[in-house]
Amino acid sequence: MRLSRACLAVWIWSAACGAAPGQGQDHSVVGSDVYRRIRAGIDAVRAIDTHDHLWPFDRLPGLMETDRGRGMTLFGLWERSYYPQVGPLTTRKPGEPFDAWWARARHDFDNARATGFYRYQLPAFRDLYGVDFDTLTDDQARALDAKVFDNYRDDRWVRHVVTERANIDLMLNDPYWGRLDFRTHYPFEVLVFNVTPLLDGFHPSEFKEPSDDPYRFARDRGLPTATLDDYLAVLDRLFREAKSRGAVCLKSTRAYSRTLRFEDVPKGQAARIYGRPRGELTPQEVQDFQDFIMWRLVGLSAAHGLPFQIHTGHGKLQGSNPLLLVDLIEANPKTKFILFHGGYPWVGETGAIVLRHGRHVWVDSVWLPTISPTMARRALHEWLEVMPSDRILWGADCNHAEGIYGATVTTRAVLAEVLAEKVLRGELAEAHAARIGRQILRENALALFPQLRDRLGPDRGR
């Protein structure tokens, strides 16, 4: 009797895994020797993480006053994670002893146990602290909190977790706390030029934070800002300085506050808006100015060789579908566009955009495995079918060591599972799967941001 390919795949799965019936399809893949081999290869890859928000050590989000002094706590790790989007978190008051907080907070997680935004931090507690957060006892919780506090007495903890435990070689960091300062704080950090505030440059009153203010930047350098042409010259100067300070790409998070549809607004229209405060403008005029500047930034991206990371999906939902970017993408073939978060939940649409415009568009799975490992598996399965394997990137998208570790482990697991499943189905050779794993975790970033090669140690470039 001849087995069909589908039957053969099922036979291989059951033979390879030895899992009891009813344990579910994922067990048959992750229990297989193929998965174990691919996962071991993927875990060994010195990853290039294309996106995080790792603050300077003394300003890390989550630091608080406790009965032991100022430091990081278990509460801080959860408060400044993605978990509060899916569950309540009882506030630990400044100076409050751990036991008093935990007595009120221990049931906070009860309705979130299956969510991605809860589960992605669990590998950090398991691997870095040796505890299972799902079954945490009160004694374990107290000891965990104390250990977190002790670890964060020194920035060596962050460096150790990122470079040795998460096995990250270089990390592109989006400094949204000081976008135009162009400063880095960690040896593994690579600067990203976050251009989000520049879209609102029609008037100086838009900028409350000095480190986000292009007018302060211009003043400090004696540059005029009287006309729109002056402002455009300031933008060009910002690009040159960002690049000279080591920035390798641009980043926009504007999808949190407005639509991703950017019209090609004539310069004369933008010039009539420039110099007027928001109170004198209609909402349409504000949007027109932002649209005009976005097209300028896309042009400067190409001119300065800085690929453009654009947040798509899961922002202002009714305007964050990546399809809204297609006209902008199509009209700017010299710009390298990177569609962040796989456009979640529009992962199929994102794949279609890369299929259609793949010569200058990449998809970054950053954050997607944290939001939903199931959606991430689906996305990677589809993307690998519709685009070349050198188009896909990844990032952790977190702001402390435990989050970065958890997101990285989750991403490696999801990727290994997808690749193993394709091998077990007979849709991919195992050697090719291993190569794709290295591409997504490392080599695609080195190809897209060639300056990174200067930052690698000896013997690390291949």
Residues that bind Zn ion (CB under 5 A): 397
Q: How far is CA 115 from CA 176, 248, 315, 405, in A?
A: 27, 34, 19, 17
Strands (E), 234-346: 250-252, 308-311, 337-340
CB nearer to Zn ion: pick between 291 and 397 = 397
Q: Are 131 and 144 in contact (CB under 8 A)?
A: yes
Distance CA 135, CA 115 (A): 16
Nearer to Zn ion by Cβ, of 109 and 405: the residue is 405
For the bound state, the minimum distance from the C-beta of residue 179 to Zn ion, rounded and expressed in Å, comes to 13
Say whether 23 sits in a helix, a strand or coil.
coil
For the bound state, the minimum distance from the C-beta of residue 27 to Zn ion, rounded and expressed in Å, comes to: 32
Least distance in Å: CB of 15 to Zn ion?
Answer: 42
Given the complex with Zn ion, which of 196 and 389 has the nearer CB atom?
196
CB of 18 to Zn ion, least distance (A): 40
Q: Work out the burial of residue 74: count CB atoms within 10 Å of its CB; fewer than 13 is exposed, 13-18 middle, 19 or more buried.
A: buried
Which residue's Cβ lies closest to Zn ion? 397
Residue position matching structure tokens 């976005």:
294
- Our CB check for Zn ion shows the closer of 148 and 398 to be 398
SS3 (DSSP) at 287: helix
The distance of Cα 107 from the centroid of its chain, to the nearest Å, equals 29
In the bound complex, what is the minimum distance in angstroms from residue 97's beta carbon to Zn ion? 33
CA distances from 462 to 166, 222, 332, 412, 432 (A): 19, 44, 31, 19, 16
Strand partners, 69: 66
Nearer to Zn ion, 397 or 421 (CB): 397
Enter the tokens of residue 419. 């690749």
Token duo for residue 425: 């189905």
Q: Which residue lies nearer to Zn ion by CB, 96 or 397?
A: 397
Question: Considering beta carbons, is residue 125 or 340 the nearer one to Zn ion?
Answer: 340
Q: Which residues on neighbouring strands pair with residue 191, listed in sequence order?
A: 173
Q: Which strands sit side by side in the sheet containing 308-311, from one edge to the other?
A: 193-194, 250-252, 308-311, 337-340, 361-364, 392-393
Q: Which is nearer to Zn ion, 311 or 377 (CB)?
A: 311
The C-alpha atoms of residue 98 and residue 95 are separated, in whole angstroms, by 9
- Least spacing, CB of residue 114 vs Zn ion, in Å: 24
**CA 122 → CA 64, 132, 298, 396, 403, distances in Å?**
22, 7, 39, 15, 9
DSSP 198: G
Minimum separation from the CB atom of position 177 to Zn ion (A): 12
Nearest distance from C-beta of residue 308 to Zn ion, angstroms: 15
Lookup: tokens for 138:
């009160």
Nearest distance, CB of residue 53 and Zn ion, angstroms? 6
Minimum CB separation of residue 92 from Zn ion in Å reads 25
Reported residue count of the chain is 462
Nearer to Zn ion, 77 or 416 (CB): 77
- The smaller minimum CB distance to Zn ion, of residues 366 and 379, is found at 366
